[in-house]
Chain A
Amino acid sequence: MSDFDTEIDTSGLNCPLPVLKARKMLNEMTSAQRLRLICTDSGALKDIPAFCKMTGNPLISSDEIDGKLYFIIEKGA
């Protein structure tokens, strides 16, 4: 799994909270910093890539480990 600078754990939270929390955190980060987002909402599997695509914040990796989703998002320019 890639390195990251900040982490948010949204375990137990449902749509759209993982996206909204990721947005809030990315706003506070600087370009090229990486966020690790942990989700248990299975909808995030599609929602987070859509969020990344629409906001220009590259999705570096996504992994599923023991029922949890781990996304690494890089803050775009």
Chain B
Amino acid sequence: MAKKLAIIASKGTLDGAYPPFLLASTAAALGFEAKIFFTFYGLQLLKKDLSLKVSPLGNPAMPMPVPVPSIVQIIPGLEAFATWMMQRKLKKKGVASVAELRDICLESDVELIACQMTVDLFDFKNTDFIDGISHGGAATFLEFASEADITLYI
């Protein structure tokens, strides 16, 4: 029987988008049955319009070309600059884009589940999300996770 991977994706930043989509697409390539449950800010990863950002603010481990003190990081435009810089670096190093990995997940039958409670909480519309996803709650995730070989909270 196929191995199973269950992931909870709770982050909606550019850097936070990589682990769930990257691991699930690779798991599918290895013959796993994989499901990702998107909750809270993780729901941003299911939006048709993926405008994910990365911020150095509150993230002292983020490598910067020059040291930028926290007080300076609140300047408007710094987050956009950091995002642009990260995207340029990802492309230059031959790393797949988030959209590309998400497409591979869909093509390889990774089930993408939107947490219904947080969809309602944030008043998101189903039309905001890509096609081919499903909806579910805590019991939906736990049922699958109870049989999973690997379970991750990201």
- A interface list, Cβ under 8 A from B: 12-17, 19-20, 22-23, 41, 51, 54-55
- B interface list, Cβ under 8 A from A: 22, 25-26, 29-31, 93-96, 104, 108
A54 interface neighbour in B25, B31, B95, B104, Cβ under 8 Å = B31
Chain A interface, >50% SS class:
helix
With A14-B93, A14-B94, A14-B95 as given contacts, are A20 and B31 in contact (CB-CB < 8 Å)?
no
Q: What is the CA–CA distance of A23 and B30 in the complex, to the nearest angstrom? A: 8
With A16-B22, A16-B25, A20-B25 as given contacts, are A54 and B94 in contact (CB-CB < 8 Å)?
no
B26 interface neighbour in A12, A13, A16, Cβ under 8 Å = A16
Q: Which residue of A lies closest to B23 (CB)?
A: A16
Q: What is the CA–CA distance of A19 and B96 in the complex, to the nearest angstrom? A: 12
Given the complex, which residues of A lie within 8 Å of B29, measured CB to CB? 16, 19-20, 22-23, 51, 55
Looking at B29, B31, B93, B95, which has the most chain A CB atoms within 10 Å of its CB?
B29
With A54-B30, A55-B31 as given contacts, are A12 and B94 in contact (CB-CB < 8 Å)?
yes
Given the complex, which residues of B lie within 8 Å of A15, measured CB to CB? 22, 95
Q: What is the CA–CA distance of A41 and B25 in the complex, to the nearest angstrom? A: 18
Is A20 touching B94 in the complex (CB atoms < 8 A)?
no
Q: Which residue of B lies closest to A21 (CB)?
A: B29
Given the complex, which residues of A lie within 8 Å of B26, measured CB to CB? 16, 19-20
Q: What is the CA–CA distance of A36 and B115 in the complex, to the nearest angstrom? A: 42
